[in-house]
Structure 1
Amino acid sequence: MAVVTNDVAVADMRRLGNAEPLEPYPGNARKPWTCRCLNDGCGRIISPNRNNVMNGQGACKYCAPNAPIDPAAAATAMRDHGFVTLVPFPGTGKPWLSKCTAAGHLVAPRYDNTTRRGGQCRFCIHRGPGDPKQAMVDMKLAGFTPLEPYRNVSTRWTSLCNNCGTIVSPKLNNVRTRGRCCSSCARYGLNPAAPAWLYVMAHMVFGAVKIGITGRETRENRIARLQGSGWILVRTWPFDTGSAAYRIEQIVLKQLRAQKHGPHLPAERMPAGGWTETFDAACVTADALCGSVRDALTEPPV
């Protein structure tokens, strides 16, 4: 039997499983292999084996057609599509009493229709997406100054965060249900007490490298979101807590800023935030940034 090289195994996992390996190929097709699911809206850490993927069984158990639906995740998905659920999850194909966040209509959409087919509030379809003037008021109350005309509740709305001055793109339904949701201010999606990743990424077109942290078990996949904007993942380090990852990140950033390495990209290039952790790849290479992380890991906690 031919020996499968790491490069071939990684290419197969990406092509057939739509998953990004987070460690070298274990060398045995039946052994679990730690990866990240690249399917839209997933991004979970998974452990498929290459044998199943090569046989067409897929890599991510969470994305399988018969995967169980977590009620809390279902409510979150409905909220992201513009509905606040008012009763417990009834099942995927049953009407779910909810309130439309665009105009407050009481409706009963089905989970499948909403999340898989892009179902919308039936009243808003006929009567419009709500009052643009009220949308502007709600954004300003949440601390944002919109920089473009309002379109609808579920489209990202380019705005200025009045607190930190970062240009961000929140959705109005998220603003109405969560309040302030600026990724730069609140490090949205990172729980200091929960497992986290520290990562280094590079962008060939921008000539930039970036360091950052994100939760390992959160709904929002920060790394996948950046990859969707052309960033390439160079290396990740797992941490038991977000606070531990944050400590290492801050050590590296403090050292780089002491060496006069300022942000390489403007806020406009990073609409989701994180531009202050970018550096000129001609001055700070990805390998050098990884080396700084390794050095910081040897420093004892203060």
Structure 2
Amino acid sequence: MTMRHDAETAAGVMREAGLEPLEPYPGTAFPWKSRCTKCGAIVSPRLGSLTGRSRRPGCKRCADRAHGEAQRHDEDLAVAEMREHGFEPQEPYRGVKYPWRCLCHGCGTITSPTFGSILAGQSGCRRCADLRAGAARREDPERAAASMRGAGLEPLEPYTTTMTPWRCRCTTCGRTSTPTLSKIRSGRGCKYCARFGFDRAAPARVYVVTHAQHGAVKIGVAGALQRNDRIAQHRRLGWTLFYEHHVPTGDDALAVEQTILRRLRAAGHGVFLTAVQMPNGWTETFDAARVTAVQLRHAIRECQPTPAPPEPLTLF
């Protein structure tokens, strides 16, 4: 067999694969520059790859397109399948792996599941899935109320969920609070009757401490009728008490503190120290160069235990 005959035979193989050679035959093991007669792409397959046991396509672009078409479901069938699962397509079908914008007949929202995920048995609509999960977790209202009454709390409004604050009246002290059912079932009770931690019904104080090394200032609350353990903890970490202001109850102290914190946040002042630098109360620390202890003292004196005004403090 002559080299000319070899070249002609090779060219015939290439043309049978849909490729037109653009240069002389280089041999079976070398790339052979050719043009695909279907899509016009310039490719360089090896003749050996077209004829061996592990035969490969001559044009990758055409091979990918053929593979995609082989995997593509018929659009009419796909639309019918989506409608059977409760979705109305809002755009043309593109393939099993592409998000498909649809109207969910269950909740009326627009969602974009893939056709493949629907075929795999997934819900396709996050909102419907959340609603079903919520319904499965929903507590029987009578049983929920019984749990609250068992903890000494009388519900004052209908039950919603275990994580939603539930307005109740304590049958021991008569005060109203809003615990969640999950907290009550974890062993909590009326915050005013608690015999540990910060007593929200007893006299309290709002304080300001400073830290010279960190260049920081902090606002906080503590009880007034007990030893000032909280401030003593701060002092052991290098903090110095700058000011304290007495208020009738712990709720009043918290209201003052939270009012000032909201106004500082609205004015653009973020948390200054980390939990490592300030293990207890780092979220109430500020840069002393921007918020001074004197300014905090003035704010506490001016702030009454009532809801905070909407505008931020102008002195910061």
Shorter-chain TM-score: which interval? 0.3 to 0.5
Q: How does the TM-score come out when normalised to structure 1?
A: 0.36
Q: How does the TM-score come out when normalised to structure 2?
A: 0.34
